[in-house]
C-alpha cells in the first residue's frame, strides 16, 4: 500500500515536472513540444536520478558513519567538485564537458584524500575520521577555491558559485544517459549491502559476529556512496538536504531495514528533487531559483520537525 | 571442512600464545581449551588476565602466534564471517544499537547469517525467531521497542538473537555485568538450560566466580595471560589459588557441591 | 582639512547621488577606478592628469601608459595611495564605499559616482568636468551623451529580438536594469527579457527557448562561438541552432561610456547587415561516438 503511494508520488513528481514550467506549453501540444522533449523530460529524469542517488547515498552513509546527521556532502566531495569546477573555468578548459569532468575529478580527488585519512588508524576504516576528514578536506578545498576566485577574473568565477549552489539547467539527454548508465552500479552495490548495513547499526563488533565482513562492507559502502555523490555534483552542483532528510522521512514509514529503506529513499529522493526543481523553475518565473536553495528551504523545516520528533523519542 | 567434524570439539585452543603488536609481554601464554557440545565453560581471571584476547582468538579476530585456535577442527581465522556466524553465536559485552527497533526485528538480525544475498526471510526464519524468544522466556517482549526494555530484559533479547543463529556454540562476554540479582541468576539459569535442553556448548567470560562455580562444568582461571588452573570448579577454586590470583583473602564454602568464595574484610590500618 | 572631512562625511551619509564639491580646487592627480571614468577623463582632455587606473582600463590606448593600481573592485587602498592622488573617483558600490572611507581617512579626496544606465553618462561627465575644472569640454561631451537620457531616448521601433547571455550554466541573461538593454533598444532590437527589472537574472533554458530571440548576444573577444553552443540542451534555442550569435568585444560593449553611441551604431549595423554574426548553415546533430 505504501509502496503504491510512493510510486504514485514519484510519477506525479515526474509529470508535474513535464507539464509545468515557465514557458507556457498547452496540454494538447505537450507531446509535440520541443521544449518538453529536449528540455523538460531530460531535466525531470535527471532530477529524479540525481535526487534518488543522493537519497540512497545519504542512507548508506548514515548507516556507515553511524550518524543520522550525515549528508553525502559532508565527505568533502562538494569542496573538491567546486575546486575542480573553478579550475576548469579559470584555466578555460575547452568543450562543453570540461566543467563537469573537472568537477567529477575534483570530487574523486577529495574522495581519495578522505579515504586515505580514514585509514590513518590502520587497516580499518574509521567512520569518525571519515566525517572529520571530510569536513576538513571540504573546508580546505573551499578555501583554495575562494583564493582562486579572488585572484582571477571575478565576473566569470562569481557565476561559478551559482553553479555550485546546485542546478539542473545543464540537463540534456546526454547527461541523463550518462547518469543512467553510471548510477546503477553503485546503487546495486549499496542495495546488496542492505543486510550488512542493518547489522552495522549494532556496532562493528556485533555486526562481525552476525556474519558481516565489516571492513569490506565499510569500504564498499563508502566508495559507492561517494561515487554516486560525485556524479551528482558533476552534473548538477551541490544540492543539499536531499541526502540528509530523505532517509529520515523514509525511515518514518519503512523503518530501518535497508532492503526497504534504500529503494524508498531512491523514490523519495527522486520525487523530492523533481518537485523542488519544478518549484525552482516556476515560483519566480521568468526567473529561476537555484534548486539547492529550494531543497534547503523545504529541507530545513522538515529537518527541524524530524529533530523534534526524534528528541521526543 | 572436516568430514568427521562431529568428533572435533566445537572450540579447540591448543597451547595458544599471543602478543599484541608493540607490546612488551605476551597477552596469552600457553592457553589450551576444548569445548564439546553440552559443556558449559567459564573463563575467569582478574582484569588484564587475557580473557578478552582469548575470545578474540577463539573467534578468529586475532591469529595466534603459536598454537591453534580451531572451530570444529578448522582454524577460526579461516572461517568466513558468515559461516562462523551460523556455528557460533556471540553475545558481546557492549552493544550500541543506533536505530530504534522492536524486539522481534532485532532478534531477526540473528537469522542474517542464514539468508542468501537477495533472498527474503522465509517462514522458517520467523519460526526460528519465535523458538529463540521462547527458549529465553521473552515471547511476551516480542513487540516491545528495544529501548523500553530493562537491562535484564535486553540481555535476554540479545541471547535470543544469538540463539536465532541456531549455533552450536554460544559465547557470552561478561553477560552479568550491570544486571541485578534476579536477572543475573535468571541469565545463568537460562544458559544452563540451553546447554542441557538444546545441547549447546557455552563459553562464558565472567567476573562472577561464585556463579561460574555454581553453574559451569569447567573453569579456566587466567592470570597475566597464563592458565593457572582448569577443570572442575572444585579443583580450580581452592582458597590458596583464589587468594594468590586475586590478591585478596577469602574463605571458601560449599553450596550444592560447588565451591563458593567469600571475600574477607581487610580494613585499613588506621581503623584497626 | 577638518572641514573637508566633515563635508565628505555628511555627503557620504546623506545622499545617494554623486558628491558635490563647491569650492575645491581642480584635481591634477586623479586615480580612476572604473574604465568608464577613465574613458571620460581622457575624452574631456584630462588624460594627462590620470596617474592611476584599474587593470581593466584599456581605452584609449594612451591609458595603458598609466600605472595600474590593480583590479579596482574592491580597490587596493595602499596601491591607490601610493600614486599620491588628490582625487580618486570610484563607482558607487558597497565595497567601494568602505574603500572611499579608508582613503578619506588618509586625507585623500574621493568621489563616488553612479554609472549603471546610459542616462547616468551625462551627469557623470559633468561631475568629472567640474572636478577637473574642465567644465566646458565636459559639457560638449555631456551634450553628445544627453541623447541617452530617458526622456530623449530615440527608440526606433524594434526590428529584431535579442537576448544577452552572460553565463550558460545556470543561464544568466541581461534584464531591463542594465545599460545593455538600452543599447539593444537604441539599436533596434528588443531584449526579450526586458520584462525583468534587474540588471541580470538567472532564467530557465526553456524560457529562452519559448521567447525565441532572433539573436543571442555574448561577450567575446575571440570571435568564436561560445562553448555552450555545442551543448545538446542549448540547441533547443533556435538562435543557437542557426548560429545567430552576436559576439560583442568586451572593451566596447562591456561598459557604458563615451563610446556607447559607437556601440549602438555597431550593433545596429550587425543586426541589419548580419555583419560579424556567425551565420552558417544550421548545425547537424554531432555524430555519436
Tens digits of per-residue pLDDT, A222-268? 999 999 999 998 899 889 889 999 998 898 888 889 999 999 999 99
Given pLDDT bands bounded at 50, 70 and 90, which one contains residue A123? confident
Tell me what the mean pLDDT of segment C251-268 comes to. 88
Report CB contact under 8 Å: B81, A211: yes
Q: Please give the pLDDT value at position B6.
A: 59
Interface test with C, best of A17, A18, A23 (most C CBs within 10 A): A23
Mean pLDDT score across all residues of chain A: 88
Q: Are B99 and A63 in contact (CB under 8 A)?
A: no
Q: Do chains A and C touch (3 or more CB pairs under 8 A)?
A: yes
C168 has a pLDDT exceeding 90: no
pLDDT at C275 over 60: no
Instruction: Tell me whether residues B94 and A203 touch, CB distance under 8 A.
Output: yes
**The C-alpha cell that represents B260 in the structure block:** 563458593
pLDDT computed for residue C276 by the predictor: 43
Higher pLDDT, A159 or B38: B38
Instruction: Give yes or no for residue B1 having a pLDDT over 50.
Output: no
Rounded-to-10 torsion of CA C47, C49, C55, C57:
-20
Per-residue 3-state assignment (H helix, E strand, C coil) for A110-174: HHHHHHHHHCCCCCCCCHHHHHHHHHHHHHHHHHHHHHHHHHCCHHHHHHHHHHHCCCCCCCCHH
> Tell me, what's the ipTM?
0.89
Q: How far is A286 from chain C (nearest CA, A)?
A: 6
Q: CB distance A22–C232 less than 8 Å?
A: no
A158 against B22, higher pLDDT: B22
Q: Quick one: residue B60, left, alpha or beta (phi over 0 = left, psi -120 to 50 = alpha)? A: left
Report the predicted TM-score, pTM, of the whole model to 2 decimal places. 0.85
Q: Does C35 touch chain A (CB under 8 A)?
A: no
pLDDT at C154: 61
A197 against A82, higher pLDDT = A197
Q: CB distance from A201 to chain B under 8 Å?
A: yes
| pLDDT score at C12 | 57
How close is the nearest chain C Cα to the Cα of A125, in Å?
A: 37
pLDDT for residue A154: 56
Whether the Cβ atoms of residue A237 and residue A62 lie closer than 8 Å to each other: no
More confident position, B189 or A152: B189
Which three-class secondary structure state does DSSP give residue A19?
helix
Of A23, A98, A288, the CB nearest to C202: A288
Given this model, what pLDDT does residue C22 score? 40
Using an 8 Å CB-CB cutoff, list chain A residues near C193. Answer: 286
Q: Region A104-119: what's the mean pLDDT? A: 90
Chain B residues contacting A via beta carbons under 8 Å: 59, 61, 80-82, 84-86, 88-90, 92, 94-101, 105, 109-110, 112-113, 115, 117-118, 165
Question: Is residue B271 pLDDT above 70, yes or no?
Answer: no
Strands C160-168 and C189-191, sheet pairing: parallel
pLDDT of amino acid A46: 96
Q: Are A271 and A13 within 8 A, CB to CB?
A: yes
Q: Which of C36 and A129 is assigned the larger pLDDT?
A: C36
Q: CB of A95 within 8 Å of any CB in chain C?
A: yes
- Identify all chain B residues contacting A208, using CB atoms and an 8 Å cutoff: 61, 81
Q: What is the pLDDT of residue C23?
A: 46
Taking the C-alpha atoms of residue B5 and residue C214, their distance in angstroms, rounded to an integer, is 84
pLDDT at C186: 86
User: Within an 8 Å CB–CB cutoff, is residue C167 touching chain A?
Assistant: yes
List, for residues B49-80, the tens digit of each pLDDT value: 889 899 999 998 889 999 999 999 999 989 99
Indicate if the pLDDT at residue C279 is higher than 80. no
Identify which of A211, A255, A313 has the shortest CB distance to residue B82: A211
pLDDT digits 0-9 by tens, C61-103: 999 999 988 877 778 888 899 999 999 999 998 788 888 888 9
Three cell numbers, residue A300: 530545513
- Inter-chain CB proximity A255 and B84 less than 8 Å: no
CA angle (C37, C41, C42) in 5-degree steps: 120
pLDDT greater than 80 at residue C207: yes
What is the average pLDDT across A32-40? 88
Q: What is the mean pLDDT of chain B?
A: 90
**Min Cα–Cα distance to chain A from C123, Å:** 27
Quote the percentage of chain C above a pLDDT of 70.
83
pLDDT at C38: 93
pLDDT, position C21: 45
C233 part of contact set with chain A, CB < 8 Å: yes
**Burial (CB count <10 Å: 0-12, 13-18, 19+), residue C199:** middle
What percent of chain B has a predicted confidence (pLDDT) above 70? 97
Query: Chains A vs B: touching, with 3+ CB pairs under 8 Å?
Result: yes
Mutate to test the interface with C, among A34, A281, A287 (most CBs of C within 10 A): A287
The whole-angstrom separation of Cα A238 and Cα B71 is: 50
The reported pLDDT for the residue numbered C18 is 44
Amino acid at each position: 500500500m505504501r509502496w503504491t503511494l510512493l510510486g504514485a508520488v514519484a510519477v506525479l513528481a515526474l509529470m508535474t515536472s513535464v507539464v509545468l514550467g515557465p514557458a507556457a506549453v498547452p496540454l494538447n501540444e505537450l507531446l509535440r513540444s520541443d521544449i518538453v522533449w529536449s528540455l523538460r523530460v531530460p531535466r525531470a529524469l535527471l532530477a529524479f536520478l540525481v535526487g534518488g542517488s543522493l537519497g540512497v547515498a545519504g542512507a548508506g552513509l548514515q548507516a556507515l558513519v553511524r550518524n543520522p546527521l550525515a549528508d553525502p556532502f559532508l565527505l568533502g566531495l562538494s569542496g573538491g567538485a567546486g575546486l575542480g569546477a573553478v579550475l576548469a573555468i579559470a584555466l578555460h578548459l575547452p568543450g562543453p564537458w570540461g566543467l563537469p569532468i573537472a568537477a567529477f575529478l575534483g570530487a574523486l580527488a577529495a574522495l581519495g584524500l578522505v579515504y586515505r585519512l580514514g585509514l590513518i588508524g590502520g587497516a580499518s576504516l574509521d567512520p569518525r575520521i571519515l566525517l572529520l576528514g571530510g569536513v576538513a578536506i571540504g573546508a580546505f578545498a573551499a578555501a583554495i577555491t575562494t583564493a582562486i576566485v579572488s585572484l582571477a577574473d571575478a565576473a566569470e568565477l562569481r557565476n561559478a558559485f551559482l553553479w555550485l549552489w546546485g542546478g539542473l539547467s545543464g540537463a540534456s539527454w546526454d547527461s541523463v544517459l550518462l547518469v543512467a548508465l553510471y548510477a546503477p552500479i553503485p546503487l546495486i552495490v549499496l542495495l546488496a549491502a542492505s543486510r550488512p548495513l542493518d547489522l552495522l547499526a549494532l556496532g562493528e563488533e556485533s555486526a562481525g559476529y552476525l556474519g558481516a565482513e565489516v571492513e569490506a562492507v565499510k569500504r564498499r559502502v563508502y566508495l559507492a556512496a561517494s561515487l554516486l555523490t560525485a556524479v551528482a555534483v558533476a552534473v548538477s552542483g551541490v544540492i543539499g538536504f536531499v541526502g540528509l532528510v530523505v532517509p529520515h522521512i523514509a525511515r518514518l514509514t519503512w523503518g530501518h531495514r535497508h532492503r526497504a529503506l534504500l529503494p524508498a529513499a531512491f523514490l523519495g529522493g527522486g520525487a523530492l528533487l523533481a518537485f523542488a526543481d519544478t518549484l525552482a523553475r516556476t515560483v519566480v518565473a521568468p526567473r529561476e531559483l537555484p534548486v539547492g536553495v529550494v531543497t534547503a528551504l523545504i529541507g530545513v523545516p522538515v529537518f527541524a520537525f524530524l529533530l523534534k520528533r526524534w528528541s521526543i523519542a | 571442512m572436516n568430514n568427521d567434524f562431529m568428533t572435533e570439539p566445537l572450540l579447540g585452543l591448543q597451547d595458544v600464545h599471543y602478543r599484541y603488536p608493540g607490546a612488551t609481554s605476551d597477552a596469552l601464554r600457553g592457553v589450551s581449551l576444548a569445548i564439546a557440545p553440552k559443556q558449559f565453560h567459564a573463563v575467569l581471571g582478574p582484569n588484564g588476565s587475557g580473557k578478552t584476547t582469548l575470545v578474540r582468538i577463539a573467534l578468529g579476530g586475532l591469529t595466534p602466534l603459536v598454537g591453534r585456535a580451531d572451530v570444529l577442527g578448522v582454524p577460526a581465522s579461516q572461517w568466513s564471517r558468515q559461516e562462523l556466524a551460523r556455528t557460533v553465536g556471540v553475545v558481546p559485552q557492549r552493544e550500541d544499537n543506533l536505530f530504534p527497533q522492536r524486539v522481534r526485528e532485532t532478534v531477526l538480525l540473528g537469522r542474517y547469517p542464514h539468508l542468501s544475498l537477495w533472498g527474503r526471510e522465509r517462514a522458517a526464519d520467523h519460526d526460528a525467531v519465535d523458538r529463540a524468544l521462547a527458549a529465553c522466556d521473552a515471547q511476551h517482549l516480542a513487540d516491545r521497542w528495544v529501548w523500553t526494555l530493562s537491562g535484564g530484559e535486553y540481555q535476554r533479547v540479545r541471547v535470543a538473537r544469538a540463539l536465532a543463529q541456531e549455533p552450536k556454540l554460544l559465547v557470552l562476554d561478561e553477560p552479568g555485568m550491570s544486571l541485578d540479582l534476579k536477572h543475573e541468576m535468571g541469565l545463568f539459569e537460562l544458559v544452563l538450560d540451553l546447554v542441557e535442553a538444546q545441547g549447546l556448548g557455552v563459553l562464558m567470560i565472567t567476573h562472577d566466580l561464585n556463579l561460574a562455580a555454581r553453574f559451569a562444568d569447567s573453569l579456566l582461571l587466567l592470570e597475566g595471560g597464563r592458565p593457572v588452573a582448569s577443570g572442575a570448579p572444585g579443583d580450580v577454586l581452592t582458597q590458596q589459588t583464589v587468594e594468590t590470583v586475586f590478591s585478596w583473602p577469602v574463605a571458601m564454602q560449599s553450596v550444592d557441591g560447588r565451591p563458593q568464595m567469600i571475600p574477607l574484610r581487610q580494613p585499613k590500618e588506621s581503623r584497626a | 582639512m577638518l572641514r573637508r572631512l566633515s563635508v565628505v562625511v555628511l555627503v557620504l551619509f546623506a545622499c545617494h547621488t554623486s558628491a558635490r564639491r563647491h569650492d575645491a580646487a581642480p584635481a591634477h592627480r586623479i586615480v580612476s577606478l572604473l574604465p568608464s571614468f577613465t574613458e571620460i577623463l581622457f575624452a574631456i582632455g584630462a588624460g594627462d592628469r590620470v596617474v592611476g587606473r584599474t587593470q581593466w582600463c584599456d581605452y584609449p590606448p594612451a591609458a595603458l601608459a598609466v600605472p595600474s593600481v590593480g583590479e579596482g573592485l574592491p580597490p587596493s587602498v595602499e596601491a591607490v595611495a601610493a600614486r599620491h592622488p588628490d582625487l580618486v573617483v570610484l563607482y558607487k558600490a558597497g565595497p567601494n564605499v568602505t574603500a572611499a572611507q579608508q582613503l578619506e581617512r588618509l586625507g585623500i579626496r574621493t568621489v563616488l559616482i553612479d554609472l549603471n544606465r546610459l542616462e547616468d553618462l551625462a551627469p557623470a561627465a559633468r561631475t568629472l568636468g567640474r572636478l577637473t575644472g574642465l567644465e566646458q569640454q565636459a559639457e560638449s561631451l555631456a551634450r553628445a551623451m544627453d541623447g541617452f537620457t530617458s526622456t530623449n531616448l530615440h527608440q526606433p521601433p524594434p526590428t529584431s529580438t535579442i537576448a544577452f547571455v552572460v553565463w550558460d550554466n545556470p543561464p544568466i541573461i541581461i534584464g531591463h536594469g542594465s545599460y545593455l538593454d538600452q543599447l539593444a533598444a537604441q539599436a533596434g532590437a528588443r531584449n526579450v527579457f526586458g520584462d525583468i527589472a534587474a540588471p541580470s537574472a538567472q532564467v530557465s533554458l526553456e524560457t529562452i527557448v519559448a521567447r525565441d530571440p532572433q539573436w543571442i548576444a555574448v561577450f567575446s573577444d575571440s570571435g568564436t562561438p561560445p562553448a555552450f553552443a555545442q551543448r545538446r540542451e542549448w540547441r533547443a534555442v533556435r538562435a543557437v541552432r542557426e548560429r545567430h550569435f552576436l559576439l560583442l568585444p568586451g572593451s566596447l560593449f562591456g561598459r557604458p561610456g563615451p563610446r556607447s553611441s559607437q556601440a549602438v551604431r555597431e550593433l545596429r549595423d550587425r543586426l541589419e547587415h548580419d555583419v560579424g554574426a556567425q551565420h552558417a548553415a544550421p548545425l547537424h546533430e554531432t555524430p555519436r561516438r
